[in-house]
Each structure stands twice: as C-alpha cells, then as structure tokens.
Amino acid sequence: MDAMTDALPAVPADLIERLGHRSIVFIGLMGAGKTAIGRKVAQALGLPFIDSDHEIETVSRMTIPELFEHYGEPEFRALEERVIGRLVKDGPQVLSTGGGAFVNANTRAAVAADGVSVWLKADLDTLMARVARKPNRPLLQNADPRAVMQKLMNDRYPTYGLADITVQTRDARREEIMAEVIASIAQWLENERRHDD
C-alpha cells in the first residue's frame, strides 16, 4: 500500500447511503482549509468536489477580488447566495464555501435543507500563517490584517457554531483532519438515524 492509500480513513459502508441527496458543505474563515480538506474528503468518499468561489468566478467571468472591487461586498454576497443555493441541491457532493457565505441566513437555510454543514474551526495564528501565503484576499487588504481577521472571528464564529459539525483544524497533516471530518460526519449521520428511528 502506498502512503496515500494508507492515509484514507475507513469509511462506514452506509455513509453515502445515509447522506442521500445531501451535500457535505464546508464552512469557516479564509485559511481554515475548506478547499484542501474538502478535496481530500471528496476523494475519500468518491464524491465530486465543488468550490463555490470557483463557481462564482465561472458564472460572473470575474475573479472574487474583481467582483468586490467592481460591485462591492453586498452584490457579491447576493450572487454567492444564489450560486450556493443552486449548487447545494446537486448532492451528494462536497462543497467548499467562501468565508462569509454561512453568515447569510438564506444560505444557511439552503445548506440546512440540502446539506450537512462542517465548520473547520481554526485559531488566529493558524489562519494568519495560512492566509499570508495568498496575498489576494479582498477582506485583508488592510494595514492590520491580523486585527481584521480577529474581528471576522469575533463576528462570524457564533454563526459558524450553528453548523451541524465542528472539527478543529490545526497544523496537522491534511489526511488527519480529513479522517476526523469523515468520522464526525459518520457519527452525526448515526445520531440522526437513531433520532429518526
């Protein structure tokens, strides 16, 4: 067995069946690893992976920074709401969303109706170390990006806490976080089944 195959977690046989039509929807701040971990989870479960930011760029023919610059955050959020509302119905799949998406009540309702939400929760140092590698984050174009990130955490973490599942992300191998996410989803689906019985 190669290292990659060895790293794949044991997926409960009926996990996909219990997931049904629903999407696994990753939420969290920029730098939390929604795309990286989302891709790994999709691969392990044999599901398609979609990044909502990429989809928004495709439909608008503009980059996220360009959308912010030309139309402002409110217009971007309205487009994001429409795109995620459409995407989340196409499950089963793994869907990574932008940091502000879950703050929108309509997007949260769409995710609740057609998805299982997974919050990748990270501390400030972890997030700052990761976002430093990508300088094109519109919300961090500021003299004090760390203060901006702290404010985003203060503002958004209570809402992210409404997610179905929370997994602490940290400076660990992606495979390790992926395995924790899959185990958490399996447990959540099992609790849901027991509740329904």
Q: What is the pLDDT at residue 186?
A: 93
Please state, for a pLDDT cut of 90, what percent of the chain lies above it. Answer: 68
Q: Is pLDDT larger for residue 10 or for residue 47?
A: 47
pLDDT digits (tens, 9 = 90+) for 44-68: 999 999 999 999 999 999 998 899 8
Does residue 103 carry a pLDDT above 60?
A: yes
The stretch 166-176 carries a mean pLDDT of: 92
Q: Which CATH class is domain 16-171?
A: alpha beta
Does residue 105 carry a pLDDT above 90?
A: yes
Q: DSSP letter at 2?
A: -
Does residue 69 carry a pLDDT above 70?
A: yes
Q: What is the pLDDT at residue 14?
A: 85
pLDDT digits (tens, 9 = 90+) for 124-169: 999 988 887 766 666 666 778 889 889 999 999 999 999 999 999 9
Q: What is the pLDDT at residue 140?
A: 64
Nearest to 131 by CA among 21, 33, 16, 19: 33
Does residue 15 carry a pLDDT above 80?
A: yes
Determine the residue type at 186. Answer: A
Mean pLDDT of the chain: 89
Phi/psi class of residue 76: alpha, beta or left (left: φ > 0; alpha: ψ in -120 to 50)? alpha
Contacts of 127 (CB under 8 A, 6+ apart): 29, 30, 31, 32, 149, 153
Q: What is the pLDDT at residue 8?
A: 56
Q: What is the pLDDT at residue 3?
A: 44
Q: What is the pLDDT at residue 129?
A: 87
Contacts of 195 (CB under 8 A, 6+ apart): none
The stretch 9-26 carries a mean pLDDT of: 86
Does residue 1 carry a pLDDT above 60?
A: no
Phi/psi class of residue 101: alpha, beta or left (left: φ > 0; alpha: ψ in -120 to 50)? alpha
Q: Name the 3-class secondary structure at 26.
A: strand
**Domain residues of the chain, as ranges?**
16-171
The stretch 81-105 carries a mean pLDDT of: 95
The stretch 158-181 carries a mean pLDDT of: 94
